[in-house]
């Protein structure tokens, strides 16, 4: 049975939402999104350690999203010149090809090691701005499959891939 879509149109007597109400909805949406990310790793990872996993992967995902947004903008501005769009001058950070989110997402196994390698590669490519930022979260946690299996990491990656 198809799920009924919520009617979001304003009725004749409905008052438009204020800016504050819209911001509150965005905060609630973010909370629910992060809560679901925590639920994915709940069990093998204790609640006290959620931040050790969620924070670095969110940071990595955001850097990757910004890089891709900048790449798309440069492609549009240069009338489709992909080489121009990949120049370091077009980006706030350098992300090596093998360290991009979508490349890690394609991996079938050893996802923890792939994430750690990608974050470390980004740090090395940006020594003046990001060195030590991502590695401070501890690679041993990501690579210990007793704590976090590839399937849990895959689920977390796919969940985070829903938003940009």
In 44-145, alpha helices (H): 50-77, 82-85, 101-106, 111-125, 139-143
**Token couple for 122:** 């980004």
Please give the residue that has the higher pLDDT: either 161 or 21.
161
Calpha distance 114→108 (Å, rounded): 10
Q: Which positions ≥6 away from 130 have C-beta within 8 Å?
A: 93, 122, 123
Residue 106: inside a domain: yes
* Within a domain: 49: no
Domain residues for the domain of 116 are: 56-160
Total number of domains constituting the chain? 1
| Residue 82 domain-assigned (yes or no) | yes
Q: What is the pLDDT of residue 145?
A: 85
**Cα–Cα dist 41/160, whole Å:** 13
Tell me the pTM: 0.79
The contacts of residue 72 (CB under 8 Å, 6+ apart) are 85
Closest Cα partner for 132 from 119, 114, 117? Answer: 119
Does any domain span residue 27?
no
Lowest mean pLDDT among 4-8, 51-55, 90-94, 96-100: 4-8
Does the residue 128 lie in any domain? yes
Chain segment 101-131, per-residue pLDDT in tens: 999 999 989 999 999 999 999 999 999 988 8
- The answer to whether residues 114 and 101 touch, using CB atoms and an 8 Å cutoff, is no
Point out which residues pair with 45 in neighbouring strands: 42
Backbone phi and psi for residue 45, each to the nearest 5 degrees, phi listed first: -115, 130
Residue with tokens 């969620």: 54
**Is residue 8 in some structural domain?**
no
């Amino acid at each position: 049975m198809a799920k009924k879509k919520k009617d979001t149109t304003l009725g004749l007597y409905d008052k438009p939402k204020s800016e504050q109400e819209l911001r509150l909805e965005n905060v609630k949406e973010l909370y629910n999104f992060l809560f679901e990310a925590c639920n994915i790793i709940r069990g093998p990872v204790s609640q006290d350690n959620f931040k050790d996993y969620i924070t670095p992967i969110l940071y990595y995902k955001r850097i990757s999203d910004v890089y891709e947004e900048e790449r798309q903008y440069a492609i549009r501005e240069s009338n489709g010149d992909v080489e121009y769009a990949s120049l370091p001058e077009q980006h706030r950070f350098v992300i090596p090809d093998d360290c991009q989110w979508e490349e890690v997402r394609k991996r079938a196994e050893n996802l923890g090691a792939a994430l750690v390698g990608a974050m470390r590669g980004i740090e090395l490519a940006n020594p003046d701005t990001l060195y030590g930022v991502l590695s401070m979260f501890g690679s041993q946690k990501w690579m210990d499959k007793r704590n976090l299996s590839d399937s849990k990491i895959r689920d977390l990656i796919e969940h985070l891939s829903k938003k940009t």
